[in-house]
Structures are given as C-alpha cells and as structure tokens.
Structure 1
Amino acid sequence: MNHYYNPVRTIQGAGSLHTLPETLEQMHLTNRRVLILAWSETVFAHPVFAKLDAFQLQTSVFTASNPTIEQLFETYQATRSFSPDAVVAIGGGSIMDVGKSLCCLYQTDLSDAEELRTYIQAGRFGTPKVRWIGVPTTSGTGSEVTCWATIWNPSKDAKRSIENQANYAYAALVDPELTANMPLKLAVSSALDATAHAVEAFWAKHTNTVSRALALQAIRTIMGHMEDLLCGKPEAHEAMAQGSMLAGLAFSNTKTTACHSISYPLTMHYHIPHGAAVSMLLAPVLELNAPCVDGLESLLAALGVSDAAMLQQRIRSFLQRSGQPDTLRGWGVAWEDCSSLAKLGMTKGRADNNPVEITAENIQGILESIY
C-alpha cells in the first residue's frame, strides 16, 4: 500500500506572479503583514508589488547560496519583530529554504546562532506559526512544493533539514517569465537537478504510484527540451518550469536517494553547483540501481537513453555545452579526496532511501568513475 499527499495550490504559466495579491487575500491574514524575501532588489521592481498596498510589507534580500545556520539566524533576527502572517519567498532553492525555515522559527525565541543550531539538530519543529508562498525564479529545485528546507552546517560537515508536514506552501506561483534571464550555466544545472529529483523519486524506496507518474512526465518534459534550452529557444523556459514543478511534486513524497546524498559534500567542500554535482552522479548510480528498478524500461525511455553509459554521454554533453566541467577533476577535486568524500556521502534519509545498499566503498567507486 502506498499513499501520496501534497496540499500546495499550484498556479503555473506566464504571468502567474500577477495572481499574488489575490492569493494573499485568499489566505485571510489576521494582521495583513507580509514578509517578501527575495534573491535580489531587482525583484521589487515588478509591477505586482504596486498592487499590494492593502498589506503591510517588509522586504528582505538574501543573496547567499546554500544557506548556513548563521545566515538563517541573521535573517530570523532581522525579521522576527515584524511578526509576519505570511512569507513570500521569491528566488531559487536557497530562498525557499530560508523562507520556509522562518515559518517554523517565528514561534521560537532564539538568542543566537548556536541556539538555532541546537534547535535544528534536535528536530524540535512544531506547527509553523506562519504560512508561505513560493515563487521560483529558477527551474530546478521544486522547493515551492515540498515541506522541508535544507540548511548547511559546514563547520560540522553536515547538511540539516527543517521538516514539518504542516509546512507545505499555501501556494506556488510558477511563472516561467521569471526564469527567462537565467544564465545558461544556471539554467542547465537547474534543469539537471530537477531531472535528478524525478529519477530518484521514481526509484526511491519510498516511491508511490502518483510520484512515479509525475516523475516520468517531469523527465520527458525536461529531457525533451534540453536542446531547446541550449539553443536559447524561449519556449524551453515554459517546459523547464513545468518539469521542475512536476519533479518537485514527485519527490515531495519520496525524498531523494544516493545521487543527492553523495552530492552534498561535493557542493559543501568544492562549491560545485548542486545541479551539476548531482547530475554527474545520475549515470553511475543508475548503473548501480538498474537491477532493482521496477519499470526500468519506462525510465530509460523518458530519459531518451538505452543505458547508463548513454545517459552519462548526454549529461556530459549538456554540461560541456553550457560551459561547465563534466568531471570531478574539472571541478578541482583532488583524487586523494575521493575516499574522505565517500565517507561524507552517507546522508541519513537519502542514502538509506536508495533501492540498492549504499556504502562508503561503492560511493568511492562512483566518485572515481566520474573523476
């Protein structure tokens, strides 16, 4: 028996951001105080903000990628006295992580970053005090339709999750017009991240019928338009926005598996963009998992490949043509670090969600295969 649950209202298509005033009204906010958290000041030039005069707004800009506990605490401290009824997170996955984390933290009284660290490590997340709306400006993370947030703790070589089933967004406004100006490198790595979300949702131990159907459609949509994206065709952004959202809906109920688990230390220690890191791992993990993947033929057909070797060729081509290295060596990873990186790649909740057992030994083999 399996089940699927996702309560997020999804509004997708060009111009979706213009529905923000109406969406906020539907939330029936008691004090009508709204925190707008964005990746750049330029966001606030959008004409929709002139139509929010019925609300009391506070704006905050968060520019860091892979938010740390210290950075999250700084934003929490700067915004908690405003006591918002709602948070609107406009940006990529990092903005979503901070926005949904704040919703869980506003019910607390934390004095410093160390107290926040302890709070997150203990997993003491009650029902969020504040609801949020996700507005993605990249097409990759799907974070607008998931209920967990990733916060990084580099000093402890750790990635932490803030997770609560009550912390799904009230709504996701998925507007491809907001992604049209993404640099090609970011657009490609984001698309490959979404592909990984969908592939891993398909084979995860915790997969289900709905997630698998969403995953296949997401993969077909993204991989079927990668050439359009690389050629700069405008219609590719609509396809990537759809595919990323579908992938997010798929893995919102399954979580990810070995690819993500192994990728985290690559991003943490070598600053390899997450989408590039996880995409390089897709083919070798597919080769490992293939004997245990139910519906493998459907998955390969959606990816447009016949086997793992062909998938590796496709992904390497996408990375190369977007101006990114396609090997660990190209990203500056030292060969002798593969052993220590393998040990750090065993992330609880991700490695143990893989259909084939993941060990430090086979992770090292995977890393060496993409070196």
Structure 2
Amino acid sequence: MSYSYTFPGNVRFGEGAFRELPASLPAGCHPMLVMGKSFSLSAEGKELLELLEPFHPVIRIGIPAEPPLECVDELIALGRAEKVDSVIAVGGGSVIDAAKAAAALIPVEGGVSEYFSGARTIPGKGLYFAALPTTAGTGAESTNNSVLTDTATKIKKSLRHPQMKADLAIIDPMLTWSCPKSLAAASGLDAFVQAFEGYTNPKASELTRALSAQAVKLILKNLKAACEGDHAAQNAMAEGSMLSGIAFSQTGLGAIHGFAHPVGSLLHVPHGVACAVLMVPVMRWNEPVCGERYRELADICGVPDFIAAAEKLAQDLEIPSDFKKYGLKQEHFPFIVKNCRSASMATNPRPFTDGEVEDFLEAFC
C-alpha cells in the first residue's frame, strides 16, 4: 500500500481557542468573514465580531443549507469587489464549505459553476482560509473539498483540490454549546458515519484507522449526552468530529454518503438526517465484507455488537427509519441511481449494481 496525507495547516483545539483567531491571522490582512446567522447572535459570535473589528472585515452573515452555487458566486463577487486577501468561516458545514470554495476561487477567473461542471480546474492555492466550526459534525474544517448543490439540476457533489484545506482550523467546543438539539443530533450522526466509513474504507491506513477509531469511540459514547447540553460531552464531540474529518479526508467515505447526496438534494433532506436514516441499512449491506472491521469497532467501543449500538443511538435520537415523510417514491430511483455514483460510492467496501440500488431504496419508501 502507498498513501499520502493532506492535513489542515494549523489546528488549534480547546475551550476559548476562538479568542486566538486575531493573533493567528496574517498581519495586516483584509479578510472576508462568513458567519452563520444563528451563531452571529450568540454571545461568542458577538465577541468574535468585536475581536475582528481591527481587521475591518467584509462581513457576510447567513449561508443556506446545502450551499447552492449561486451563494458561492455571491461570495466570490463580494470578495473580488472588496479585494479581500483572506477568508474566515465561522459556522456549520454549509458556511465552511461555501466560504472554502470562495477562498479557492476569488483569485482566479470564472464562476463556481465552471469549476463544479469540470469546464475549469482549480489551479492551486487560493486565499488564506481559516475555519471555526460551530457544530460537531461535518468535519469541513479538516477537509480539502466543498460540498455544493446545483439547484437547477439538483446535483450535489464536491468541489475538490488538495490546496483547499484550511490554513488554520480552530476547534473550540464552546462554539458548539448553543447548537440546537436537533442539529446537534443530525450533525453528530454525520460525524459518526464519517468516522466508521473512514475506518472501513479500502483506502484506510493504520494512521487513518487510529484516528477514525478514536472518533467512533468518542462519538458513540458522548453524542446523546451532548444533545442534552452536557458540556463535557459536547467537548468530546468536537474532538471526535475533528478526528473524523482529518481521517476521512485522507480515505474517502462510502455508500451512506453516496446515497445521501442525491437523496438530500432531491428531497431536501438535511444531510445529517439523510446519513442517519441510511446508516444501519448500509452497514448491514456491507456486513458480509466489513464484519471483521465492525467487530474491531465493537471491541474498541466496548459494545457487544457495533451495528446494534449504532441502531440504538439513532433510535435514541429519534431518527426516522425511512424517507416516507420526505416523499421518496419509485419515480425518484433513476435520478438516485444516476447521481449516487460518486467517489464515496466508488470506495464503498461492497459494490452496488444499479438494480441493487433500486432494490435497496425500496425499503425507504
């Protein structure tokens, strides 16, 4: 086996670490600050805005979920017009992904749709990029891709380049403390899925498995309590999400994410919820080839059966078992079959034929 690793340039973790942001930015920089709307109203959000006042940042508050290409183009246009030289993202996965894409594309020609379609390729390093997550879930602060949505075609996929990784990632658990319970559950289960999909991925190495295993253990143990507002559990979730993101950004994911993108974009299912609904059925599909890995994770987590533990976690967090409430129908199957063939699906341990995809989806209608 051969492999290479791409990590964020500088990672800082700990309560209150967000206050280190001003001293960590390039001297004299003129940044664009992209911040989640709800977080901007929190005490920490207001404090961060005050801390950044000396930089006179160009501020954009609020990014739609599953960020559309139009939103990224707005950020690109704003950044070019204001001649910013750096981008700071403070928010959940959508905020970080949109800002990350903008940071990559502000200094080059063209709009995001040209890069999303493959008509243009990202040439290299974009603007300096700092990411501060306010949810414990997506791991977007650790990855070198942005998950975006073309609302016209309903195609959701990643814009990717090795140099899109953050120059600075500050993971401060305090920023997640005000996260609503439903969002904490969905984003936490997304992190859980990312962790074990990274662990079972054919591209995993001993290093990435060590990171993934610790992430799985932290999340399985702490997610439920974190959703109830336990600060110690929320801190553990922030660390688990970070480790999960670092690991899966090296390996790729699997069929849960392969399915979640087209299902989510077509039916407007929140990404974390889509992953959580798909989680156990895909695990059972993969069990014939992943059984040993699941047994390893069971031992690591101190549970008798890893799939059963995952299923109980989803039930405890009141995750639905299908997509009926979102209106999934057989007529949607051709779109999902066509658009699930992503890099995530390509590295799923057990392949799906098109017919098997349709059979698999029947249980969710």
Q: Are 2:96 and 2:131, in contact at CA under 8 Å, matched by a contact in 1?
A: yes
Map of 1:152 onto structure 2: 149
Pair 1:335–1:140, CA change in 2 (3 A): same
RMSD: 2.2
Map of 1:325 onto structure 2: 320
Distance 1:195 1:239 in 2: 13
Q: Given the alignment, which residue of 345, 351, 354 partners 2:345?
A: 351
Map of 1:118 onto structure 2: 114
Superposition deviation, residue 361 in structure 1: 2.2
Pairing of 1:47-126 with structure 2 (within 5 A): 47-110=47-110, 116-122=112-118, 123-126=120-123
Structure 1 counterpart of 2:316, which letter? F
Structure 2 counterpart of 1:22, which letter? A
Q: Given the alignment, which residue of 238, 241, 246 partners 2:243?
A: 246
Map of 2:15 onto structure 1: 14
Superposition deviation, residue 242 in structure 1: 0.8
SS at match of 2:343: coil
Structure 2 counterpart of 1:300, which letter? A
Q: Are residue 195 (structure 1) and residue 192 (structure 2) matched?
A: yes
Superposition deviation, residue 311 in structure 1: 4.3
Distance 2:116 2:329 in 1: 33
Q: Are 1:12 and 1:174, in contact at CA under 8 Å, matched by a contact in 2?
A: yes
Map of 1:133 onto structure 2: 130
Q: Are 1:39 and 1:63, in contact at CA under 8 Å, matched by a contact in 2?
A: yes
Superposition deviation, residue 146 in structure 1: 0.6
Output the TM-score relative to the length of structure 2.
0.91
Q: Could you list the runs of 5+ residues in structure 1 that have no partner in the other structure?
A: none
Q: Are 2:31 and 2:87, in contact at CA under 8 Å, matched by a contact in 1?
A: yes
Q: Are 2:136 and 2:188, in contact at CA under 8 Å, matched by a contact in 1?
A: yes
Which digits, 9 at most, give the CA deviation of each residue in 1:195-218, with x for residues without a partner?
A: 011111111122221111111100
Output the TM-score relative to the length of structure 1.
0.89
Q: Could you list the runs of 5+ residues in structure 2 that have no partner in the other structure?
A: none
Pair 1:303–1:366, CA change in 2 (3 A): farther
Which digits, 9 at most, give the CA deviation of each residue in 1:233-259, with x for residues without a partner?
A: 232211111111010011010121110
Pair 1:213–1:68, CA change in 2 (3 A): same
Structure 1 stretches of 4+ with a deviation exceeding 6 A read none
Distance 2:306 2:207 in 1: 25
Distance 2:115 2:227 in 1: 43
Map of 1:42 onto structure 2: 41
Distance 2:227 2:158 in 1: 33
Pairing of 1:207-226 with structure 2 (within 5 A): 207-226=204-223
Pairing of 1:276-295 with structure 2 (within 5 A): 276-293=273-290, 295=293
Which digits, 9 at most, give the CA deviation of each residue in 1:15-50, with x for residues without a partner?
A: 1100101111xx34xx52111110124268532443
Map of 2:360 onto structure 1: 366
Which digits, 9 at most, give the CA deviation of each residue in 1:147-179, with x for residues without a partner?
A: 111111132231232211112111111111111
Superposition deviation, residue 278 in structure 1: 0.7
How many residue pairs get matched?
359
Structure 2 counterpart of 1:127, which letter? G
Q: Given the alignment, which residue of 229, 234, 244 partners 1:232?
A: 229
Superposition deviation, residue 291 in structure 1: 2.7
Q: Are 1:338 and 1:368, in contact at CA under 8 Å, matched by a contact in 2?
A: no
Distance 1:119 1:19 in 2: 34
* Identical counterparts, % of pairs: 26
Q: Are 1:267 and 1:273, in contact at CA under 8 Å, matched by a contact in 2?
A: yes
Q: Are 1:342 and 1:361, in contact at CA under 8 Å, matched by a contact in 2?
A: no
Q: Are residue 143 (structure 1) and residue 137 (structure 2) matched?
A: no
Pair 1:261–1:173, CA change in 2 (3 A): same
Q: Are 1:342 and 1:360, in contact at CA under 8 Å, matched by a contact in 2?
A: no
Superposition deviation, residue 370 in structure 1: 4.2
Superposition deviation, residue 220 in structure 1: 0.5
Distance 2:227 2:151 in 1: 33
